[in-house]
Amino acid sequence: MAVYTDVQDEALRAYLADYDLGELVAFRGIAEGVENSNYALKTTKGDWILTLYEKRVEPAELPYFLGLMRHLAGRGLACPEPVAGRDGQALRELAGRPAAICTFLPGVWPRRVRPEHCAPLGTALAELHLAGMDFAGSRPNTLGPAGWRPLLEACRDSGDEVRPGLIAELDATLAGILAQWPAPGTLPVGQIHADLFPDNVFFLDGPQGRPRVSGIIDFYFACSDLLAYDVAVCLNAWCFEPDFSFNATKARAVLAAYVARRPMSAQERAALPVLCRGAAIRFLLTRLFDWTHTPPGALVTRKDPLDYLRRLRFFAGIEGDSALGL
Amino acid sequence: MAVYTDVQDEALRAYLADYDLGELVAFRGIAEGVENSNYALKTTKGDWILTLYEKRVEPAELPYFLGLMRHLAGRGLACPEPVAGRDGQALRELAGRPAAICTFLPGVWPRRVRPEHCAPLGTALAELHLAGMDFAGSRPNTLGPAGWRPLLEACRDSGDEVRPGLIAELDATLAGILAQWPAPGTLPVGQIHADLFPDNVFFLDGPQGRPRVSGIIDFYFACSDLLAYDVAVCLNAWCFEPDFSFNATKARAVLAAYVARRPMSAQERAALPVLCRGAAIRFLLTRLFDWTHTPPGALVTRKDPLDYLRRLRFFAGIEGDSALGL
């Protein structure tokens, strides 16, 4: 379910009158996405995506997200580019919500990740990081290490209902992660996507039928943090099989393509195992929070937090970066 | 939520290879629709809708639905036209489901019905009925009068939990409707849409900015039944305000435009009040069934059956057709 706010057709027409996008041709809700309401919008000038920002997005942070997308698109990255209205403003209001129109990106996200997706992903991630280097904005990672302990506290009372002993295991694991976390200034920092899951990356067939990245979407967790942490998110999101076994071929492909475009320092490589544990506990904790705080009848798909316990335990056994495929 | 079955990208490519639709450009789930999984599909040859038929659609009935759409589109009606594969077949299989690709229709469905929508709706409904006259197929209305008593029985044990006394009221009302229902052979019969709600009718701006119908979709309740019953469904679906007051201006606009294209007999006009009661109880009963048979945690939006009790009670007080706006 990805349409939370419905848009009256008169309101839509009035909204579009503020743009130079031609006449309205079609308007359909998009099923993908869980945080915001997304509509596929077709006008006589082309295809666009209209997004209404829902409660989980902080309005004050929207200028950062939209500014980053504009910056990255201007650097040639295939990401949604916010479209300004006639007054030059991209961030507007529709149906009582902050709203924006962005360019439509072609492609299909991979329902099942194949090894051939992984090198293009690694290249695209490195290009995203490089393109963001001269972006002037910044945003703290609200779901980074400083946010994990409060999330765990919020799950303390009911977390063991999901699995007996879960909270004690997470207490110990989180303490270990935070103790090993890279000190400020030791690793390169920049604008990271922070949520680069397969459903946020579109592919099309390139030469010889090999997949190429045609679009990276959903920058609404983007923030300023360790670049290598974004790599760790991808290793979590792209390199585990449905049975939770770690596919080192995929990991090697992501990493090799990434470092070919943006070389990683020895410190970054050495930090990868703890960054992977951090990324695993981040998704585990937000899923656990949603799981324990969502009323049973609510119209959202709750994702199983224990999927990330499996990943967390795998990464807990890794010491060097060699086992990750580098 | 309108994507129940996810489609692997390799399976999609293999499926598209059976068509002459060019190369895949984009593929997004559509949020609208509750019975089937719908995807917006873009290829180098244009925009299409891919539908996977889910459990509530009987596979044996799909040739009727697709054949009717092909027939109506061939007669010039703006409805989805099934696209045949290279072997001439439109009904195929994808991801273990029956599946078909249809043409994409422009337009926006009206979130709030205005009087200006009603005349174009009436005209389009009459054109649908006329275009269907020479269609060779037929399908009984499984949610018609013969189906209402079984539906009510299936709700008997838990229906009063929705509202005390509801089942007794429906028993009495249904008996009255069935006693007054037009005898076979007295009213014209043809192919009807049977579910022509606002979200199944797309509009675009026509001359002078007046809305014109650009598409009628979702023929998966279509059947062979009284043409005037389809009018009664529209009076239920288009002519009540959010406070459940009946808007006679809208009803008059629907009816006047309809009869201008397909004149109704005196018997049809006289039958409209009981047909309206029938349409109201049909949607009340299917909603009540879903309400009482859907587990509380299920990921579907349950629609309030009592919305149709309000309509049913309004139509119960109508004797002639004059109060309906004719």
Q: Is A104 on the interface with B (CB under 8 A)?
A: yes
CATH topology of domain B115-324: Aminoglycoside 3'-phosphotransferase; Chain: A, domain 2 (3.90.1200)
Look at B110 and A9 and tell me if their CB atoms are within 8 Å: yes
Look at B31 and A108 and tell me if their CB atoms are within 8 Å: no
For B31, the closest of A3, A108, A202 (CB atoms) is A3
pLDDT in tens, A194-210: 999 999 999 999 888 89
Q: Is B231 on the interface with A (CB under 8 A)?
A: no
Spatial separation of the C-alpha atoms in residues A195 and A218, rounded to whole Å: 8
Q: Does residue A303 register a pLDDT over 90?
A: no
User: Which of B4, B6, B9, B27 should one mutate to test binding to chain A, selecting the residue with the greatest count of A CBs within 10 A?
Assistant: B9
Q: Is A171 on the interface with B (CB under 8 A)?
A: no
Comparing alpha-carbon positions, the chain A residue that sits nearest to B117 is A9
Residue A268 — pLDDT band, cuts 50, 70, 90? very high
Looking at every residue in chain A, the average pLDDT score rounds to 93
Residue spans of alpha helices (H) in A42-136: 62-74, 115-132
Per the structure block, which two tokens stand in for B8? 């692997």
The CA distance from A7 to the nearest CA of chain B, in Å, is: 7
User: Which of B28, B32, B45 should one mutate to test binding to chain A, selecting the residue with the greatest count of A CBs within 10 A?
Assistant: B28
Q: What is the pLDDT along chain B (326 residues), one digit of tens a residue?
A: 456 778 888 899 999 999 999 999 999 999 877 689 999 999 999 999 999 998 888 999 999 999 999 999 999 999 999 999 999 999 999 999 999 999 999 999 999 999 999 999 999 999 999 999 999 999 999 999 999 999 999 999 999 999 999 999 999 999 999 999 999 999 999 999 999 999 999 999 988 889 999 999 999 999 999 999 999 999 999 999 999 999 999 999 999 999 999 999 999 999 999 999 999 999 999 999 988 887 665 555 678 899 999 999 999 887 766 767 66
Q: Does residue A69 register a pLDDT over 90?
A: yes
Q: Is A260 on the interface with B (CB under 8 A)?
A: no
Chain A neighbors of B109, CB-CB under 8 A: 9
| Helix and strand totals (H; E) in chain B | 10, 9
Which phi and psi (to 5°) does residue B242 adopt? Answer: -55, -25
State residue A296's pLDDT score. Answer: 61
State residue B35's pLDDT score. Answer: 80
State residue B1's pLDDT score. Answer: 40
CB within 8 Å of chain A, chain B residues 23-52: 23-32, 40, 42, 47
User: Three-class SS of residue B173?
Assistant: helix
State residue A313's pLDDT score. Answer: 94
Closest CA to A101 of A24, A191, A34, A32: A24
Long-range contacts made by residues B3-7, C-beta under 8 angstroms, separation at least 24? Answer: B3/A31, B3/B29, B3/B30, B3/B37, B3/B38, B3/B39, B4/B36, B4/B37, B4/B52, B4/B54, B5/B37, B5/B52, B5/B54, B5/B95, B5/B96, B5/B97, B6/A111, B6/B95, B7/A111, B7/B39, B7/B50, B7/B52, B7/B94, B7/B95
Residue B220: CB partners within 8 Å, gap ≥ 6? Answer: B35, B36, B53, B57, B65, B195
Contact criterion met (CB below 8 Å) for B315 and B277: yes
Residue spans of alpha helices (H) in A91-144: 115-132
Q: Tell me the ipTM for this assembly.
A: 0.81
Chain B neighbors of A50, CB-CB under 8 A: none
Q: Is A154 on the interface with B (CB under 8 A)?
A: no
Give residue limits of the domains in chain B: 9-103, 115-324
State residue B302's pLDDT score. Answer: 72
For A108, the closest of B9, B108, B203 (CB atoms) is B9
Contact criterion met (CB below 8 Å) for B221 and B237: no
Comparing alpha-carbon positions, the chain A residue that sits nearest to B110 is A9
Q: How many percent of chain A have pLDDT more than 90?
A: 84
The CA distance from A71 to the nearest CA of chain B, in Å, is: 24
Residue A1 — pLDDT band, cuts 50, 70, 90? very low
Q: Does residue A139 register a pLDDT over 50?
A: yes
The length of chain B in residues reads: 326
So what CATH class is A9-103?
alpha beta
Counting one residue from chain A and one from chain B, the pairs whose CB atoms sit within 8 A come to 93
More confident residue, B119 or A297: B119
